[in-house]
Structure 1
Amino acid sequence: MAIARPIRVLGLVAVGLWIFFLYQIFGGERIELGPGDTLDQIERDPQLDPSGEPEGVLWRADQGYAPGDNSQRINATLLSLVRNSELQGMIQAMRDLERTWNSKFNYPWTFFNDEPFTEEFKRKTQAETKAECRYELIPKEHWDMPSWIDKELFDESAKILKENDIQYASMVSYHQMCRWNSGLFYKHPALANTQFYWRVEPKVHFFCDVDYDVFRYMADRNKTYGFTINLYDAPQSIPTLWPETMKFLAQHPEYIHDNNAMNWLSDSARRPDHNKKANGYSTCHFWSNFEIADMSFWRSQAYEDYFNHLDRAGGFFYERWGDAPVHSIALGLFEDSSKIHWFRDIGYQHIPYFNCPNSPKCKGCQAGRFTDGESWLMKEDCRPNWFKYVGMG
């Protein structure tokens, strides 16, 4: 009997350790989860895996998901806002995306510029793809500083932003770009009859072979927005964006979706300094230099009213409201969060951040790597918050 008691105690300890192990694997808070942490969660997207799911039949060629000219086409385009001087960076990005994806589907490219494209730009970009290339000029009324913006106040505000180390603060063109990307690009006549787009910027990299039509995936799964990287913004660049958003919500509570991502937008636990400086906004946002989206959302009454409210408030010029936080806040408030998709299987880099899947289809990036910059940049990753509050869908 004296021996039995220690054995029972050891048995209870073993059971307790086993329960703790299971809890660590299947339960508890997963806030620190990042790309590449586990093969079963990161190597493939279960929603795109044909094994074990009825939806897998959508991968069959006769369903339009397989590569080739016979795939069923979606009303979509690859979209780039680019200068003539960025030609080489654009060519590099095109080569990556054509090699890994678009050469299999041949979706058109639509290039936008506030100045006419040169013949050299047209010739050399068209040479990188078999798909149609379209070259569009942005109307002056969509690009110029709006009439209600006070230029002297803009200059004074730019000085303050610069003193706070806010990048591009004094560049009028950068503010114009953020405003155009936020609420005007989808109004261009060239996109009037287009529904989906994949935004591609110069100098970005794509690392993974993607063998399915991402636009078909978005349409068939009723997804509104797709992202790869999710970051914290510089709170000094957007101090009144959240207060203005709260003013708008007070006027239009009907626009808030029942399944919103407010917790992700307002979280203060992980970066309380950001939440405080941004007056209640976590500053988490989808890094919009990569986005695959349905323009029906931007064309909705909710988003149109929201953008007009922000535009009149002047923060695109008096502060540095980027299209990334503006898009992200609108999606987090007005859209069903289950319609926002993390493209974990698309390897992507925009300096200095990566989305690098743990997959044999990826070459040229280190699995799970988030940044090639200083170690402090690791804390800028807001994907763990998205996974915590919304999930990996």
Structure 2
Amino acid sequence: MFKLNVRVRRVWDRLFRCNALAICIIVAMVVTGAVVIPQFVAETHGYGWPKFSDEDITTDRDGPFFRGCVDTERYLKDEQYTKMNATFVMLTRNEESEDVAKTIRSIESHFNQWFQYPYVFLNDVPFTQEFKDKIQRLSRAPMQFGTVDKLDWEFPEQVRNSFAFQNALRDQADRGILYGGEESYHKMCRFYSGLFYKHPLVQQFEWYWRLEPDVEFFCDLTYDPFLEMARSDKRYGFTIVLPELYWTVPNLFRYTRSFIRENKLKLGSLWRLFTNNYRILETDDEVLASRVNYGSDVDHKLSEKVAIEHMLASGNSEEEMGLRYLVGRSQAKIPLFEDKFDDEEYNLCHFWSNFEIARLDVFDNEIYDSYFRYLEQKGGFWRERWGDAPVHSLGLGMTLNVEDVHYFRDIGYRHSVIQHCPKNWNGVESGTKVAQAQLPYFEADPRAKRNPLWHRYNKGVDNGCGCRCRCDTWKTDIEDTAYYCMERWTDLQLASDADLARGGHYAAIASANDVESRVRDDYLAQLLQEPS
């Protein structure tokens, strides 16, 4: 059950932090500079939102596979344990060897030293022997190094040599679109959007875990996520959901809805995580439907319709309410939603795809392949800066249901300035100690030996789920800054089975005929009470 109160924030906690506001700002600026300030402001002011990171958001649909630590030695010796056909996948370059090494040390220390899953490294040019030797020294797990085919990496020659291509990149750079002027970034997004899972080295596997150079893990993962996903019928796992920058994808949803319409697709219920619904009123009156875009519009707009029609039918031009509504309608414009297509709008939420644990066939299937080819034809991977994260998310929304997706809330993860780090579990449920949640650490590889003086873990809490997490507690968790997207995710976890049974196809929330009949009765009753 949620313990989340959406309307009431922990007031004294806010006040406590605000009392030290000046000191915290100075410390933050000295230690990390301006990058941390927006996170700090979001944490201390918060706009009255509750902190998701303080709450237990487990439901019957999804929650951590385990809370706290698992006895990994016993887990691996269990006769029901089966190692999955899975791999890590990383796209990188020779000059990123230091950042790659940082990632490998972190994932080995926190997970793979015990499970020994193989690695696949991909590059658009051959890896140097120096790079291979350096990375192979970091793990006992098998490693494969592959080169991306030029046709998969480069944009088609007729595109690459065109004036429109160079002009599009310059225009994006001039407008300050993040990475918009970097050709290599466009290539990377295109490759991860629809081609990485076709690479022969990746095709060997059923499951993959995507890694990036220069990422850090904060918690120990003492169980096998691939196996637990298979046991739970989960197909895609994420650790961060957040909104995309609008100007990187201004036309992505337009083409996505066009693809859905042309192919008459039946959408999965996950579609609702990424879209806003404007199909509010069930009616054949297109003008009326266009004026009703929110539930709060229904009674008002139908009251307006009833009053105007009654005044015109009665011929009484002095009927005050009808006249007032008529004047108001004549002065009002039909609401314009620039990005509304088929009564839906992309809300910009997406899974941050630099972390993914998933089955390969969530992308390697006919629908997603067709979707990627359709987007490729539209040129958005270079005309705009379509990232693989929103493309993956919308593609998954078409084909998956909410229950197919798992939130790896217990995996602490940082990439760039964004991080998620869960709270450790203290082994307490309903006030009773039920488990030794934080088991002692042991290394299976001497390279992962930890100095206990420098690796003290965060204190466990009742609602925690992490195992031996050591977090930068002065940084704001993305759960608390990407509030809107987290709220959408938790709302879907609480939705009824009957509601989700419709998949991603929204039903109108009100019937115009039913509401109009009720409003007309109320209006006529009110007229009868008024003195003549």
Q: Into which bin does the TM-score normalised by the smaller protein fall?
A: 0.7 to 0.9
Is 2:188 aligned against 1:177?
yes
Shift of the alpha carbon at 1:63?
4.7
Q: Label 1:381 to 1:61 Cα distance change in 2 as closer, same or farther (>3 A).
A: farther
Shift of the alpha carbon at 1:277?
7.0
Which of 475, 478, 481 is the matching residue for 1:378? 481
Shift of the alpha carbon at 1:317?
0.8
Look up the equivalent residue of 1:385 and give its one-letter code: R
Which of 469, 472, 475 is the matching residue for 1:365? 472
Is 2:325 aligned against 1:287?
no
Look up the equivalent residue of 1:241 and give its one-letter code: L
Q: Label 1:356 to 1:381 Cα distance change in 2 as closer, same or farther (>3 A).
A: farther
User: Is the Cα contact below 8 Å between 2:217 and 2:411 reproduced in 1?
Assistant: yes
Match of 1:117 in 2: 127
Q: Label 1:63 to 1:338 Cα distance change in 2 as closer, same or farther (>3 A).
A: farther
Match of 1:327 in 2: 392
Is 2:197 aligned against 1:186?
yes
User: Is the Cα contact below 8 Å between 2:122 and 2:146 reproduced in 1?
Assistant: yes
Match of 1:387 in 2: 490
Match of 2:431 in 1: none
Structure having the higher Rg:
2
User: Is the Cα contact below 8 Å between 1:101 and 1:211 reproduced in 2?
Assistant: yes
Is 2:206 aligned against 1:195?
yes
Structure 2: gaps of 5 or more residues: 9-47, 69-73, 279-293, 295-335, 425-459, 461-467, 496-532
User: Is the Cα contact below 8 Å between 2:234 and 2:405 reproduced in 1?
Assistant: yes
Match of 2:256 in 1: 245
Which of 70, 76, 87 is the matching residue for 1:77? 87
Q: Label 1:198 to 1:134 Cα distance change in 2 as closer, same or farther (>3 A).
A: same
Is 2:108 aligned against 1:98?
yes
In the aligned structure 1, how far is the partner of 2:248 from the partner of 2:221? 36
User: Is the Cα contact below 8 Å between 1:230 and 1:286 reproduced in 2?
Assistant: yes
Partner deviation per Cα, 1:54-75 (whole Å, 9 max, x = no partner): xxxx9684255xxxxxx52101
Shift of the alpha carbon at 1:157?
1.7
In the aligned structure 2, how far is the partner of 1:59 from the partner of 1:242? 44
Look up the equivalent residue of 2:53 and give its one-letter code: G
Q: Label 1:60 to 1:84 Cα distance change in 2 as closer, same or farther (>3 A).
A: closer
Match of 1:48 in 2: 65
Q: Label 1:267 to 1:91 Cα distance change in 2 as closer, same or farther (>3 A).
A: farther
Task: Give the % identical residues.
Answer: 34
Q: Label 1:109 to 1:391 Cα distance change in 2 as closer, same or farther (>3 A).
A: farther
Matches within 5 A, 1:333-352: 333-352=398-417
In the aligned structure 1, how far is the partner of 2:194 from the partner of 2:96? 23
Matches within 5 A, 1:7-156: 25=3, 32=49, 34-38=51-55, 46-49=63-66, 61-64=77-80, 71-147=81-157, 149=159, 151-156=162-167
Which of 354, 359, 364 is the matching residue for 2:419? 354
Shift of the alpha carbon at 1:146?
1.9
Match of 1:235 in 2: 246
User: Is the Cα contact below 8 Å between 1:186 and 1:192 reproduced in 2?
Assistant: yes
Shift of the alpha carbon at 1:168?
1.5
In the aligned structure 2, how far is the partner of 1:120 from the partner of 1:25? 52
Is 2:216 aligned against 1:205?
yes
Partner deviation per Cα, 1:372-393 (whole Å, 9 max, x = no partner): xxxxx9357622222223459x
Look up the equivalent residue of 2:487 and give its one-letter code: P
Shift of the alpha carbon at 1:366?
2.1
Between the two proteins, the alignment pairs up a number of residues equal to: 346
Partner deviation per Cα, 1:185-217 (whole Å, 9 max, x = no partner): 111111222111101101110010111001101
User: Is the Cα contact below 8 Å between 1:32 and 1:384 reproduced in 2?
Assistant: no
Q: Label 1:277 to 1:386 Cα distance change in 2 as closer, same or farther (>3 A).
A: farther
User: Is the Cα contact below 8 Å between 1:236 and 1:278 reproduced in 2?
Assistant: no
Range with greater deviation from structure 2 (288-297 or 151-160): 151-160
Structure 1: gaps of 5 or more residues: 1-21, 52-57, 65-70, 270-274, 372-376
In the aligned structure 2, how far is the partner of 1:250 from the partner of 1:92? 45
Q: Label 1:59 to 1:264 Cα distance change in 2 as closer, same or farther (>3 A).
A: farther
Q: Label 1:49 to 1:189 Cα distance change in 2 as closer, same or farther (>3 A).
A: closer
In the aligned structure 1, how far is the partner of 2:363 from the partner of 2:484? 26
User: Is the Cα contact below 8 Å between 2:267 and 2:397 reproduced in 1?
Assistant: no
Partner deviation per Cα, 1:220-242 (whole Å, 9 max, x = no partner): 21111111111111111111100
In the aligned structure 2, how far is the partner of 1:344 from the partner of 1:300? 28
Aligned CA RMSD, in angstroms, stands at 3.1
Shift of the alpha carbon at 1:112?
0.2
In the aligned structure 1, how far is the partner of 2:168 from the partner of 2:82? 50
In the aligned structure 1, how far is the partner of 2:338 from the partner of 2:214? 32
